Amino acid sequence: MRKRVILAGGLAIVIVGAGALFLRFVVGVGEDDWICVDGQWVAHGHPADARPEGGCRGGLAGLLPQSGEAVVPQGFTLLWFSDFKGNRIGALDKSGEIVWQQQMAAAPMPVVSFDTAAEYVTIAPNGNLIVSDGEGMMVQEINRQTHELVWQYGVKDIQGYGQGYLHQPDKAYKINDHEVIINDGNNRRVIIVDQNTNDVVWQYGETRRMGSAPGLLRGNTMVMPYKGDQQFIITDTLEKKIMIVDRATKNIVWEWAKPDAKWLQHVWPTAEDTFVMEDRQKGEVFEVNKAGQILWTLNSLSDESAIHYPTEALKLGNGNVLIAESGRGRVVEVVPQTGEVVKEYKELGFATTIAIDQQAL
């Protein structure tokens, strides 16, 4: 079970002198941070970040980004990343130190589930990690405390489309306590798998059929939940577009195309109902609203360097963006209007995805 930053009101009153030690060494919160007390954010020490917006919810789920919500992270406690070439998943703290990592072809992973190249990582509502290995044809849930494999869909290195098989899966999300949505790229479908049975309980796109018409996919490279688990954002890279699909009806409720795109993939929905995206082949990061207006575009940074193969971009509550710049093995926090680099996290290998976590290990 994950360590929590939740204090009951009575406990918060009792803990005075011992409180700092309790929070620092037992709960795992830093000396200067925001903690959740009875549904309110309370300053512990002198946090550098602004108070998080809104209230906070008790329990573990209340401290994690809920699947598909447009969250407004006020910085992060942990920044997870996938290192494709190093075949590892890691987590950084605010100082940039790697505080958690797992080589995905090493114990405690079972040999039959060794990843070929861990390419994508997301955070499940229970705090575990959902890892996708596109080359190895597997999606896995990893216990963040023990590093152990707790669930898998797909068979190592076997391409397939029948029950229990995948073909080049991309990023996957656990959308509730038992369902995982997977972009099954080369099968031209998006599927939801029930972890209790490993049955496919929902699908968009026809298996192994490419097409541009509604209900078909031509080059899907990403799916993510949007505003809960009843709508999903899908990127069709070959169609140069993103779309929002309703789970119940499978209707496309919104879509936007970028004719000059070369390789759109990951999407980050913001609290302003806009979307931050990257075009890795163009070396470009941008934000677009639902009217199709591009609000800003970044091709270069303040140090006069061109953005080199960005693979994901996330917007923070302060308006800055975190960019996984895989071509330089780093993640940078950038002011999008000016390209100013506020912070740099180095030596991350070929970081293909990043995920923000507000909780300590």
The one-character DSSP state at 186 is G
pLDDT confidence bin for 3, thresholds 50/70/90? very low
Q: Which pLDDT value is given to residue 15?
A: 30
- Whole-number pLDDT of residue 165: 98
184-216 CB burial, b ≥16 within 10 A, e <16:
bbbbbbbbbbebeeeebeeebbeeeeeeeeeeb
17 pLDDT higher than 70: no
pLDDT confidence of 358, banded at 50, 70, 90? confident
Report whether pLDDT(40) > 90. Answer: no
Residue 55 has pLDDT above 60, yes or no: no
Rg (CA), the chain: 20
Examine the pLDDT at 155 and tell me if it is beyond 70.
yes
Q: Which of 51-55, 58-62, 184-188, 298-302 has the lowest mean pLDDT?
A: 58-62
Confidence band of 63 (pLDDT split at 50, 70, 90): very low
Nearest to 250 by CA among 192, 334, 324, 315: 192
**pLDDT, position 227:** 85
At residue 52 the predicted structure's pLDDT band, cuts being 50, 70 and 90, is low
Mean of pLDDT values over 205-228: 96
Instruction: Express as a percent the part of the chain with pLDDT over 70.
Output: 80
Go through the domains of the chain in sequence order and give each one's CATH number: 6-63 (no CATH), 78-357 (2.120.10.30)
Query: What are the pLDDT digits (tens) for 266-310?
Result: 999 999 999 999 999 999 999 999 999 999 999 999 988 899 999
125 pLDDT more than 80: yes
Confidence bin at 225 (pLDDT 50/70/90)? very high
The per-residue b/e assignment along 307-323, b for 16 or more CB within 10 angstroms, e otherwise, is bebbbbbbbbbeebbbb
- Residue 7's pLDDT is what? 30
| Other beta carbons less than 10 A from residue 18's beta carbon | 10
pLDDT in the model for residue 18: 37
Is pLDDT at 326 greater than 90 in this prediction?
Answer: yes
| Most distant CA atoms of the chain, gap in Å | 65
Q: How many CB atoms lie within 10 A of CB 271?
A: 13
Mean pLDDT of 134-153: 98
**If DSSP codes are grouped into helix, strand and coil, which group holds residue 20?**
helix
Distance CA 236, CA 205 (A): 11
Average pLDDT along the chain? 85
Q: 65-94: per-residue pLDDT in tens?
A: 334 444 455 578 999 999 999 999 999 999
**Residues of the chain by 3-state class (helix, strand, coil), percent to 5:** 5, 45, 50
The lowest-confidence range among 40-49, 142-151, 307-316 is 40-49
Res. 47: pLDDT tops 70? no
pLDDT, tens digit, 9 for 90 and up, residues 89-123: 999 999 999 999 999 999 999 999 999 999 999 99
